[in-house]
Chain A
Amino acid sequence: MLDGPMIIMIIVWLYALSVAKRARFRSLYFWIGCLGLFFILLYAFRTYYVWFFSALLTNIVGFFGHLGNAFTTSPVYGLINIACRNGGNVILHVDYECSGVVEKTAYIALLAFYPLYDRHERMAWMAKGLILILLANSFRLLFICFNVYWFGPDSMFLFHSIIGRIIFYLCVVAIYYQVFTKPQIQKVRQDDFSFQGK
């Protein structure tokens, strides 16, 4: 999970955080905090992510695939086998990039240091957001799989690399808007904000 250099990096990161806090550099604190946490989470839980999220995603997608009799899955290896309607076979491998790990980690890291919430709200949003991102990713993958099944292997590039991504990013932007942007705007309105300061 961790290794020596990483543990030393974590200690340095914690120290930097404490310095930023004592010096009351709020923005620096936020940047050090969320960038550091992002890399630490990504690195420390890399085996878990690949193992866990790929298996989970493949299982969710496989459930619907079996329902629609469109494709079969092997969750342990993260494989989705689509036997297309018009003949031809496509095997998708759910890997690090595909399982939405980077997006989830970025979300956790941003939310953990976002100064707007108290910790109860933060935890509630974290749980909700993670589930929503997972659902968005499952929806993307289902969309790809059913369309590839329907339109054949040649449509793979179109649905996987273009439309699938657009759908996923639209979903994630919507979640980010709900969690970060909208409450911020509302808070600014409530706080009688002025650019000149007090």
Chain B
Amino acid sequence: MKKLDKFLDRSSNWLNTIFTGLIAISFFWALQSSNWNFKSEDTTIVSVLLIFGLVALLLAAYGSKYFAKIWRLIFVEHARITIAILSILLLGYQLMLVFGLHPAIGFDVGQVHTSLTNPNTTNSRGYFSQNFNNVPVLLFYHAFAQAVHSTSWLAFDLLTLVLVDLSCLFNVLTMYLIHKWTVKYICYLEITWLFVFPYILVPYTDTLVLPFSSFAILALAVIIQVKKWYIRLPIAIVGAFALAFSFLIKPSSIAVPVGIAVAGIIYLMMIKHDYRGLITILISFGIFLTSSYGLRELSQKQNFIQVNEQLEIPAVHFLSMGISGKGGYNPHDALMMAKLPKKSDKVAYSWKKYQQRLKSKGFFGYLVFLFKKQGWNTADGTFAWLIEGHFTSARPDPSKPFYFLQELLYPTGKNLQVFRLLAQIWWICVLAILLFGYRYVHIYSMGTRLGLVVGMIFLLLFEGGRSRYLIQFLPGLLMLASLLYPTAKETILDLVHAVTYGPNDQKKERKNA
């Protein structure tokens, strides 16, 4: 047993080092993001007021005697009221966003949406034959469209809004179960996140998986924290189904729940000796395996759209794209996947390309590439808003309601840079918490770190290149940030004290003199 303890200690240290290293690289690149830069064209009354406001806020936070008191009064002592007010404001903002904007979205999202009304055009069949992994999301949206008798963007945006907010609620419940003191942190983190998260306008797999993976994490927390079997068993079963669904829609999204499950098994076995809990986890794992197999079978037997599974793009294609250019989408490779009819040819072509690219980079070249790719994968706080090809062609229209939101989010909007700056500020804060909270070690934090490391390595190896793929890991990321916040704050204050003279230092010096 002692050997096992030592092994676990060591592996936990290693895991923490790898995680902190990866986050440090992200932090390094996030500081250099183009989201920080304003140009003279971006000079609007909003951007000027924003910059003035930010500078004033910083000066007040550092220099004012009353600021800290007021801050504490509002955000700490009356946290419940503040959170309630902010949540209502947030919901209003989200509804404005959805009802005012709901633009037509391009790229894969547009393809899925078009196929809902015309599933059997050559385009749709070709697309879903190649990208068979997107058939489940099409079926889900089809079922939803049937239920509400609408295929409008508005309906899907509303669905996405509900799903994302539901995911946040699950996260808050999870943190309530794990540590009550983290609830206010997770609430603030999620509320500020949703204010800079326009992806509720993009009904796609990234946002669709959020409530399912969040619920899976919640179920794990219930299994670990709650003793009563009649509570934990049903929730474990539903959680296993949710995880299977999440796996079906976006396989990589299960990284964090699985990471927490691994940590949970170790915790239940070694520390709590709760073998019933252990069995519950194993049962739910079994349910997850069988149900994900069943769901895959179901999606293969569907008759909504005719697909030719022989045309499906192999996984190695994403591996080979992940090492080309910026590690993201490669149009030439994608075209070749369409041109080559046989699956074996596609595999052979992608494998050959992968090896060629790896050889041309060399060992150190590949390491440098990975260092940069971590930045491309994670540095952008807008989660690659408008980055994807043909993202949206919507333009701000002064006659439409909520015109100011259109100016904030559309490609030709005057205040687009303001949104980017705000999103980047939020993101750098989250990264700072994750980076400086490295001293906090706890069973959940280690599990989440494990899941996030696996997720980030997955994005490094396979197609990545833009931070949209991070959205699926956000529940885990935010929960981890809320756990690490107090430790991170302490570390940052220690660092600040190390380089500045505070009032205490002056007193000490006087004493010494």
Q: Is the CB of B32 within 8 A of A17?
A: no
Contact A47 B39 (CB under 8 A): yes
The size class of the interface chain B forms with chain A is 20 to 34
Q: Which of A97-105, A119-127, A137-145, A153-161 contacts B (4 or more CB under 8 A)?
A: A119-127
Instruction: Write out the residue numbers on chain B whose beta carbons fall within 8 Å of the beta carbon of A18.
Output: 498-499
State whether the Cβ of A67 lies closer than 8 Å to any Cβ in chain B. no
CB distance B65 to A76 under 8 Å? no
Q: When the two chains form the complex, which single residue of A21, A55, A77 contacts B501, counting CB atoms closer than 8 Å?
A: A21
Chain B neighbourhood of A188, CB < 8 A: none
Q: Chain A interface: which size bin?
A: 20 to 34
* Interface flags, B33-46, vs A, CB<8A=1, else 0: 00011111111000
Task: Give the CA-CA distance A51 to B44 in the complex, in Å.
Answer: 12
Q: B43 and A1: CB pair below 8 A?
A: no
The stretch among A2-10, A162-170, A178-186 that forms the contact with chain B is A2-10
The residues of A that contact B48 with a CB separation of less than 8 Å are 52
Asked if B59 is an interface residue, CB under 8 A from chain A, the answer is yes
* Segment 110-155 of A: residues with Cβ below 8 Å from B: 115, 118-120, 122-124, 126-127
Which residues of chain A are within 8 angstroms of B39 by Cβ–Cβ distance? 47, 51
Of B43, B48, B495, most A-chain CB atoms within 10 Å: B43
The residue that A17 contacts in the complex, of B36, B42, B499, with Cβ under 8 A, is: B499
CB-contacts of A1-31 with B (<8 A): 1-4, 7, 14, 17-18, 21, 24, 29
Complex CA–CA separation, A132 to B108 (angstroms): 54
Q: List the A residue with the shortest CB-CB distance to B65.
A: A120
Residues of A within 8 A of B513 (CB): 198
- Cβ B31 vs Cβ A1 within 8 A: yes
Query: Which residues of A are found within 8 Å of B229, using beta-carbon distances?
Result: none
**Would you give the shortest CB distance from A31 to chain B, in whole angstroms?**
14
Q: B65: which A residues are within 8 A, CB to CB?
A: 120
Name the residue in A119, A120, A127 with the highest tally of chain B Cβ atoms < 10 Å from its Cβ: A119
Q: How near does chain B come to A178, taking the closest CB pair, in angstroms?
A: 18
Residues facing A in B388-421 (CB within 8 A) are none
Is A48 among interface residues, defined by CB-CB distance under 8 A?
A: yes
Known A1-B37, A47-B39; contact A123-B32, beta-carbon cutoff 8 A? no
Asked if A65 is at the interface of the complex by the 8 Å CB criterion, the answer is no
Instruction: Name the residue of chain B whose CB is nearest to the CB of A48.
Output: B38
**A124 lies within 8 A of B63 (CB):** yes
A75 close to B (CB within 8 Å): yes
What per-residue 1/0 map shows which CB atoms of B339-371 lie under 8 Å from chain A? Answer: 000000000000000000000000000000000
A21 to B506, CA, bound (A): 12
B43 cross-chain contacts in A, Cβ below 8 A: 51, 55, 75-76
Q: How far is the CA of A47 from the CA of B500 in the complex (A)?
A: 28
Smallest CB–CB gap between A108 and chain B, Å? Answer: 11
Contacts of B304 in A (CB 8 A): none
Instruction: Give the docked Cα–Cα distance between A64 and B131 (Å).
Output: 63
A46 → chain B, closest Cβ, in Å? 10
Contact B63 A47 (CB under 8 A): no
Set of chain A residues within 8 Å of B62, measured between Cβ atoms: 119, 123
Min CB gap A175→B, angstroms: 18
A48: chain B residues within 8 A (beta carbon):
38, 51
The answer on a CB contact under 8 Å between B28 and A4 is yes
A18 vs B497: C-alpha distance when bound (angstroms): 9
Q: Which residue of A lies closest to B60 (CB)?
A: A123
Q: How far is the CA of A4 from the CA of B63 in the complex (A)?
A: 30
Residues of A within 8 Å of B37, CB to CB, are: 1, 47
Q: How far is the CB of B30 from chain A (nearest CB, A)?
A: 10
**Contact at B64–A4, with CB atoms within 8 Å?**
no
Check if B40 sits within 8 Å of A51, measured CB to CB: yes
Is B331 an interface position by the 8 A CB rule? no
Q: Smallest CB–CB gap between B423 and chain A, Å?
A: 15
The closest CB in chain B to the CB of A18 belongs to B498
Q: Is the CB of A55 within 8 A of B40?
A: yes
Residues from chain B with Cβ under 8 Å of A55 in the complex: 40, 43
CA distance A118 to B43 in the complex (A): 35
Closest beta carbon of chain A to B447's beta carbon, Å? 31
B28 (CB) vs chain A CBs: closest residue: A7
A7 to B31, CA, bound (A): 8
Ordered by A's residue number, 6 sampled pairs between the chains whose C-beta atoms are within 8 Å are A21-B499, A21-B501, A51-B42, A75-B43, A120-B64, A126-B63
Excluding A52-B51, A120-B65, 11 further A-B contacts by CB distance (< 8 Å) are A1-B37, A2-B32, A7-B31, A21-B501, A48-B38, A55-B43, A76-B40, A76-B41, A122-B63, A126-B59, A198-B513
